[in-house]
Chain A
Amino acid sequence: MKKTVDVSIPIGPMHPCWKEPIRLKCETIGERVLRTEVELGYMKKGIERIMRGRPWQEVMFLAERICGICSVIHNMVFIEAMEGISGIAVPPRAAYLRVVVNELDRMESHILANFSYCYTIEHETLAMYLLNVREIVLDQLERITGSRINTAYMIPGGVRFDITEEDAAALLAGLARVEEDVERYTRMFATSYLIALRSRGVGTMTREKAIEAHAVGPTGRASNVPECDLRLQHPTYQKLGFTPVCRTEGDNFARNMVRFDEVMQSISLIRQCIGQLPEGPIRGGGACTAGEITYQGEAPRGELTYYIKSDEYGRIIDITVRTPSIMNIEACTHHMINDVTSVADVTSTFISSDPCVACTER
């Protein structure tokens, strides 16, 4: 029998590059990695089961805890789904504040994703720089909402706290610092030879493959699929004239550059929101009722879907969450890690698609 594979190398579930437990099985010939297979199931939390029978004020906190990095979008999509079920209108000021907090969360998530990529390719200087700048973003989140990660900012019919003049000024000042730093780091990333050697042309996924694998979020947009950005369908973003960032290369470099560019885009979206912030109330009231809905939103990692069924008092009867990372993990193992030159490129390619195992397994 002809031997096709030399060794099958497992990476993970515990690995210095992985933030969360997941296992990749790489089939190698010499240094080359022909195929990989992903093995999930190390951290199932069963959150959807815990959510059943509870009202929104409890589920909202459970939803946030699905993912520690992109917690705000889980809160936002869940609350907007409940609003959709119950026909609750959101005051315009609250809608704009939601975008502000959501974009701050996207910034910190993207910066963290790029940090882990730089860390994986052993560019620790840039990695630490990025973590440093993420701290400024988290400070702004804390200033508006009172917490850094699990903010619990949105409630049906509005948001919890208004933003004062001083807070808005401090937020804009913080954003100016972030903008200056991220611009420099983007230049560092784009012009560095070491990073180019490890990133350009590695793990390339074409537009056709991306569509076939349903790649979502920055991973899809790096492969020239701009229509996968669901912010295009969100009414507040439509009012802000949002256009997605998109690149054509589809390699590790493009995926990170898309995230860097989206950080800059988020900064300008927040500035726009603060500039146009309408006066008025931040809560409109409205009780949750019975109904059924499927609602989608754009998480930092891509399309996030909630299917919710509730009873007459707004308690959850049935809930299913579909998170973006599962699509990206599959797209990554099938279409990016195909005949890559070394095992080291497997880890960096995998991290470049920003996998979040916590939300994949919930």
Chain B
Amino acid sequence: MSESIIWYLREFLRTEWIRKFLLAKTDPLVTPPYFKDYPTLTGKECTACYQCMMICPAPGAIAVLRHDDGWRPEIYPGHCIRCGLCVEACPEDVLQSGRVLEAQHRDRTGFRATFHLSIDREICMRCGNCCISCPVGREGEPDGAVLKIEKGGVQILNSDLCTGCKTCEVNCPNRGIRVARVVEGVQEAAA
């Protein structure tokens, strides 16, 4: 018993404890520079390549939208999980978050991806939502589209134009169209 009290006295009479007790302050509420916050725009020009949408793991977190002065990605904070993958995937450095962009330039890291479209003919009900939602080749000649309703079904016209943005997958009411995105993390050798 007495030993215990002596122990506690010793613990609470340490100079550090007394100093902290009298002078303790809450740490200032600052966000450290390395914190991966919601991605913000750097002001560089977006080329609407949809790589950010392709890699985003959270449903509905990012959308590349057209404004009067060009394309711009928009982040929806309620959906974004702040993973920073879109920052790494963007080839034009449009987005940035924490030190992700800096680290990427330093380490020369990036992602390489291939896409494979597949349509399950059994559950596809030919509503055409995928063809309408697909953002690729909207303004080019009519043959520049990836998907088209033809001969009573969805046809894949130009699978090499697919950017993997998975808009069709999201808009399909039946999960009839799937975009496989095979992503590899790569790094260029140091110069």
Contact = CB atoms under 8 A, between A and B. Distances in A.
Interface of A: 53, 55-58, 60-61, 139, 142-143, 145-147, 150, 152, 155-158, 160-162, 164, 188, 191-194, 281-288, 311, 313-315
Contacts of B58: 61
A55 B183 contact: yes
A205 B24 CA distance: 42
Interface in B1-57: 1, 3-4, 7, 11, 32, 34-36, 55, 57
Contacts of A155: 185
A138 B32 CA distance: 13
A196 to B, nearest CB: 10
Contacts, number: 97
B7 A57 contact: no
Contact of A150 (B81, B98, B189): B81
B84 A146 contact: yes
Give the residue among B97, B186, B189 with the most A Cβ atoms within 10 A.
B186
B4 A162 contact: no
Interface in B143-191: 178, 180-187, 189-190
Interface stretch (B67-75, B106-114, B125-133, B134-142): B106-114
Given A55-B182, A61-B57, A146-B84, A192 B7 contact: yes
Contacts of B100: 146, 161
Given A146-B98, A285-B186, A286-B184, A162 B34 contact: no
Contacts of B97: 146
A155 B113 CA distance: 14
B109 A283 contact: yes
Contact of A57 (B1, B4, B183): B183
A314 B182 contact: yes
B183 A56 contact: yes
B185 A157 contact: yes
Given A194-B4, A287-B184, A282 B107 contact: yes
Contact of B81 (A61, A162, A287, A314): A61
Contacts of B112: 285
Contacts of A284: 187
A57 B57 contact: yes
A53 B184 contact: no
| Most interface-central of A55, A156, A193, A311 (chain B CB within 10 A) | A55
Contacts of B32: 139, 142-143
Given A158-B185, A192-B7, A193-B4, A57 B34 contact: no
Most chain A beta-carbon contacts within 10 A, residue among B3, B34, B82: B34
A312 B103 CA distance: 32
Contact of B57 (A60, A156, A158): A60
Given A61-B81, A152-B83, A191 B7 contact: yes
Contacts of A160: 84, 88, 109, 185
Which 9 pairs from chain A and chain B are nearest by CB? Answer: A146-B36, A313-B180, A283-B187, A58-B57, A155-B185, A285-B186, A283-B185, A161-B103, A162-B107
Contacts of B121: none
A120 to B, nearest CB: 20
Nearest to A88: B184
A188 B184 CA distance: 49
A57 B98 contact: no
B183 A283 contact: no
Nearest to A170: B34
A162 B83 contact: no
Nearest to A289: B182
Nearest to A157: B185
Given A142-B32, A146-B99, A193-B4, A157 B11 contact: no
Given A146-B36, A286-B184, A281 B116 contact: no
B184 A57 contact: no
B85 interface: yes
B103 A162 contact: yes
Nearest to A91: B187
A313 B182 contact: yes
Most chain A CB within 10 A, of B1, B36, B55, B184, is at B184
Contacts of A139: 32
Contacts of A60: 57
B157 to A, nearest CB: 21
Contact of A147 (B11, B82, B181): B82
A57 B187 contact: no
B184 A156 contact: yes
B182 A287 contact: yes
Looking at A145, A161, A314, which has the most chain B CB atoms within 10 Å of its CB?
A161
